[in-house]
């Protein structure tokens, strides 16, 4: 997955021809590109949650996906240095709700617990979209929402 960060032609979809020796290469280790890489990884993890068919027997899959999203969120949070703090906190809170709902589903596979997981998944999707929108000013490719 390649994520282009920035607003100039340097990052735009230019041709693959070899440029002059004096042409600047995009910085591969800049703070913004690292933030964008973490945002892309978080988006991919959130998309995994979007594809879960909620029902009895999927609680472990959901818990694994939640752990993956948490890991990606922690990496993004560390790179963001306080940016989008309200949105990262909101996503952490929604992930905790989803974790609890998945545990309830595992312990009591019922229509109510399935509905609880579905509701929690929508909360995660909304919080994830808000966070990705907040970092989109630095990473325009992060702005699309992982709607469920």
Per residue of the chain (148 residues), what is the pLDDT tens digit?
323 333 332 223 333 333 434 443 344 445 578 888 999 999 999 998 888 888 888 999 999 999 999 999 999 999 888 888 999 999 999 999 999 999 999 999 999 999 999 999 999 999 999 999 998 887 766 554 444 4
pTM above 0.85, yes or no: no
Alpha carbon distance 88, 98 (integer Å)? 15
Alpha carbon distance 135, 6 (integer Å)? 12
Alpha carbon distance 57, 86 (integer Å)? 33
Alpha carbon distance 91, 73 (integer Å)? 8
CB 59 within 8 A of CB 106: yes
CB 21 within 8 A of CB 55: no
């Amino acid at each position: 997955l390649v994520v282009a960060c920035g607003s100039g032609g340097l990052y735009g979809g230019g041709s693959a021809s070899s440029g002059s020796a004096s042409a600047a290469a995009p910085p591969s280790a800049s703070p913004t590109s690292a933030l964008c890489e973490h945002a892309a990884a978080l988006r991919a993890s959130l998309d995994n949650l979007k594809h879960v068919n909620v029902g009895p027997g999927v609680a472990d899959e959901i818990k694994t996906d939640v752990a993956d999203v948490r890991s990606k969120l922690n990496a993004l949070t560390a790179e963001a240095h306080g940016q989008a703090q309200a949105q990262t906190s909101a996503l952490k809170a929604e992930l905790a709700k989803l974790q609890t709902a998945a545990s309830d589903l595992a312990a009591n596979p019922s229509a109510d617990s399935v509905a609880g997981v579905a509701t929690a998944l929508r909360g995660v999707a909304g919080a994830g979209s808000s966070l990705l929108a907040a970092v989109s000013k630095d990473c325009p490719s992060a702005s699309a929402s992982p709607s469920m």
